[in-house]
Structure 1
Amino acid sequence: MKRFLISASIFSLLLFASSASAKHRVLLHGKSGLQIIEKDGSTSWQMAFGGIHDIHVLDNGNVMVQRNMSEVVEIDHNSKKIVWSYNSRTQNGNEGKRLEVHAFQPLKNGNVMIAESGVGRIIEVNRDGEIVKETKLVVDNPHPHRDTRLARQLENGNYLVCHEGDGKIREYDSKSGNVIWEYEVPLFQDRAGGHGPEAYGNQAFSALRLKNGNTLIGCGNGHAVLEVTPEKKIVWQIRQKDLEGIVLAWVTTLEVLP
């Protein structure tokens, strides 16, 4: 049986959070800010914080998160103070440009990957704030708020990027920067406006490459999770009302559980 954690915009946790059978600690952002929820449903850590789209826990226990849709910050777990930051709006040639940061990733080599919407690039920066790598993105419908959502570096070094405005998932070769795989998120019904369950579109939010080579996609306002093969065939899916007692709305972050 496939086991995934799904997050949607109107549910902090959908599939396991507060039940007595929960088996995982969870770091999340809710109405009261950042929180760590223990297996028993209790809150062991929390911090007031504005809205986010991406978040990571570092090996040292610190939390790395985006701030003001432009800055990546590392927060000391104990003191709750910011101990490192990188601001895409003010550093490395972006001053005065319209851009937003919706995705970033701490890398194994200590650098941080950041997807910059508006200027259409992925950069890797070191802890001194220097760009050590830059990859241009392909964007059909450029907009600072919609160029990208989540992006991840794969085990092979390539980048898997969700292009919200284009409704597409693209894999970029890490060396050439070329798009080597692309998937257009399907529309299963007519588009509809809004930000709740009544909305509909193909504004993909997240994508993960599974161990079997398939790609797991959080379809945003498509209210679905799709697993697609390299040949772009859908082999597994959860649609908006497939789960008893749950109506999905704007499916965002996905995580594969152990």
Structure 2
Amino acid sequence: MRQEPITHAFFAAGGATYIRSGSGQILWEFPHATRDGWVLPNGNVILALNKSAQYPGGGIAEVDKNGKVLFDWKGTQSEVNTVQDIGKGRLLCTEAGNKPRILEIDKKSGEIKHEVAIQAQTKDHHLQTRMTRKLKNGNYLVPQLLDKMVREYTPKGEIVWEAKTPNWENSAFLSWAFTAIRLDNGNTLTGCTIANLTVEFDKTGKIIWSVSNDELEGRPFNDCCGVQRLPNGNTVITAHHAQGNEVKLVEITRDKKIVWTHRDTTKPGIHHFQILDTNGKPLKGRPLK
């Protein structure tokens, strides 16, 4: 029996910010470049905003289906690099700058309710952190690019777990940690940017799975930034530097078979994303991204 091709609707953050249907139609878009974002169960979208004239230090926003900004907050340092709805009316974000930090911000008042200092280099603000996430245990998982580390911080700022990204292609700077996802089994899935590499660490920090261009036909990766683990165990990885009609998203199985790719003519690549459905059926459960 011939199997129907896989389709996915997805949200994309990057130089263009939009939701695209499984058939390729743009369903929603927002006129601001973004770093990170999530489609919430009520249909609203939360966004980490790139720096701009309106947001000179970057920012975060919640936007409804009609593009109306329901809440926003302006960063106070160099950049805002991630966002996550953590419940109880709070959004998490990170600020890059001379004092890199994790913030929990009240969506009604805009007040900072909690702050955690990040132990990161300050020579290059842009390469301090990316997709930070609050974990079920209340700690924070932080990918630190130029430090080549993924670290877990407590609410007091103590480092209780870390893993070092590997050198790749004989170059020490290529495998910057960008996305870090704590899986339900305790492993940590990490996208390693321009190494074109994605790795999975076990609880001890040992790499127990990885995938790179060398293992895939067509070498589809071009800056492995955003990553998502799907409920079926497959992994979707972005190619952030892809442009034009190049491959921008790739879905692979555990045994490294490509089962879906996405191309479009939008010039900007996809920085991060959220797969929303498979063949028209919404994904269930907490998105692992």
TM-score category of the 2 structures, normalised to the smaller one: 0.7 to 0.9
**What is the match of residue 166 of structure 1?**
147
- What is the distance in 1 between the residues matched to 2:26 and 2:78? 35
1:125-169 deviations in Å (ceiling 9; x for gaps): 101111111111111344321111110011111100011121111
- What is the distance in 2 between the residues matched to 1:242 and 1:216? 18
**What is the match of residue 8 of structure 1?**
none
TM-score (norm 2): 0.71
- What is the distance in 2 between the residues matched to 1:48 and 1:241? 36
1:80-108 deviations in Å (ceiling 9; x for gaps): 1212101112xxxxxxxx42111111112
**What is the match of residue 11 of structure 2?**
27
Secondary structure class of the residue paired with 1:107:
strand
Which one of the candidate residues 212, 215, 221 is aligned to 1:239? Answer: 212
- What is the distance in 1 between the residues matched to 2:131 and 2:188? 14
Which one of the candidate residues 59, 63, 81 is aligned to 1:71? Answer: 59
Q: In structure 1, what residue type is equivalent to 2:68?
A: K
**What is the match of residue 42 of structure 1?**
24
1:43-99 deviations in Å (ceiling 9; x for gaps): 15132534322011122201111223311111111x21212101112xxxxxxxx42
Secondary structure class of the residue paired with 2:189:
strand
The answer to whether the 8 A contact 1:241-1:248 is kept is no
Are 1:104 and 2:83 counterparts? yes
Give structure 1 stretches of 5+ with no counterpart.
1-19, 90-97, 193-199
- What is the distance in 2 between the residues matched to 1:159 and 1:169? 10
- What is the distance in 2 between the residues matched to 1:191 and 1:29? 28
Are 1:115 and 2:94 counterparts? yes
Give structure 2 stretches of 5+ with no counterpart.
52-57, 232-289
- What is the distance in 1 between the residues matched to 2:20 and 2:208? 32
CA RMSD of aligned residues (A): 2.0
- What is the distance in 1 between the residues matched to 2:147 and 2:122? 6
- Greater relative contact order: 1 or 2 (C-alpha under 8 angstroms, separation 6 or more)? 2
What is the aligned-residue identity percentage?
A: 31
The answer to whether the 8 A contact 2:46-2:83 is kept is no
